[in-house]
Structure 1
Amino acid sequence: MSGSSTPTDGGPALFRLVRFWSRRWIQRGAQDRQPDLRHAQHVQVVEAVAGAADSPGEATITAVAHQLGLDHSGASRMVRDATAAGYLSRHGSDLDRRRTALHLTPAGHRLLADAHDWQRRVFDRLTENWPAADRRRFAGYLQRLADDLPHHD
């Protein structure tokens, strides 16, 4: 513990973890076997599209903007770039003819799977010295926190 933190002072600890993971994401590019993982923006968009597709409705640019906390034009550029890279396809919406629905391509599914594999490997390395029960408990708490995120927008 540093400074005046207490065992229940989760906010600063959470943000230290976020900074740690963000730096690892940026630094891992050269040694990563999968060069597409270096494109963090593509991974973010693919994650957002997959997340929006899992919720009621469809994955749209508006849904991506909401998931990533961006304005519509920023999300539109990221979607355009991920589409040009072959990770997304765009089709007319089944729900509203005026909208465009986004879908992961096979390359997008591979990118998402590769990103999740890398994330699991990092988690395993960070907790490798922990007892298995602690690892499972912590993973469960992280999943619970992540699952609760949409409720706090």
Structure 2
Amino acid sequence: MTCSDGGGPALFRLVRFWSRRWAGLAAGEQRQVQHVHTLEAVHSAVTGGVEPSVGEVAHRLGLDHSGASRLVRDATAAGYLARAESEVDRRRTVPRLTESGQELLTGALDWQRAAFGELTEDWPEADRQRFAGYLQRLAEQVDGPQRSA
């Protein structure tokens, strides 16, 4: 296998691989996956120094505002998020992780780390670290500031 195609097709094969597995989950588990996506978006905004508004969640998940609003509403109803006063504009509320939301997110991140470890277990440690760094760099680019269209 060569890198002459720039890696794009391989990246999307990986995306399809994981999305098919999540799409095959039972309805309740699928809902939990949606909650995890939402919690990850809120968490990555906070750790990136950005207030986690619904608009920010939409940007990080690649959704429109109404889709992100539904996900935030559902995660709030499930007890994973709570509304908190905005630190930027006291007239607004923003989503914050609850204790159960943090537990769900921690479990999901632990599973993701284990999956990465299993997928790359026969790689030399230097390759694993290099690949992890490239994945993190790509994710940070995607999570970066919203770009105007």
Answer whether TM exceeds 0.5 for this pair: yes
Residue 97 of structure 1 corresponds to which residue in structure 2?
Answer: 90
Q: What displacement does 1:21 show? A: 2.1
Please state if 1:138 is matched with 2:131.
yes
1:10 aligns with 7
Partner of 1:20: 17
Query: Which secondary structure state, in structure 1, belongs to the residue aligned with residue 126 of structure 2?
Result: helix
Scaled by the length of structure 2, the TM-score of the pair is: 0.84
Q: Distance in 1 between matches of 2:110 and 2:39?
A: 15
For the residue of structure 2 that corresponds to 1:101, the secondary structure is: strand
Per-residue CA distance 1:107-128 (angstroms, 9 max, x = gap): 1111111111111111111112
Aligned to 1:91, what secondary structure does the other structure show? Answer: strand
The one-letter amino acid of 1:78's match is: L
Partner residue, 1:82: 75
**What runs of 5+ residues in structure 2 fail to find an aligned partner?**
none
Q: Which SS does the other structure have where 2:83 is aligned? A: strand
Query: Which amino acid letter does the alignment assign opposite residue 103 of structure 2?
Result: R
Structure 1 gaps, min length 5? none
Is the deviation greater in 36-45 or in 123-132? 36-45
Which shows bigger deviation, 53-62 or 14-23?
Answer: 53-62
- Among 79, 95, 101, the residue aligned to 1:108: 101
Cα distance in 1 for residues equivalent to 2:22 and 2:35: 13
Give the match's secondary structure for 1:39.
helix
Match of 1:55 among 48, 55, 61: 48
Report the AA paired with residue 19 of structure 2: S
Q: How many aligned residue pairs are there?
A: 144
Q: What is the Cα deviation at residue 26 of structure 1?
A: 4.0
Offset at residue 152 of structure 1 (A) = 8.0
Verify the 8 A CA contact 2:23 2:30 in the aligned structure 1.
no
Q: Which amino acid aligns with 2:105?
A: L
Q: Provide the alpha-carbon RMSD of the alignment.
A: 2.2
In the alignment, the residues of structure 2 paired with residue 40 and residue 69 of structure 1 have an alpha-carbon distance, to the nearest angstrom, of 16
Deviation at 1:38, TM superposition (A): 6.1
CA distance in 1, matches of 2:30, 2:99: 15
Query: What's the % identity of the aligned pairs?
Result: 60
CA 1:128/1:25 → structure 2, altered by over 3 Å: closer, same or farther? farther
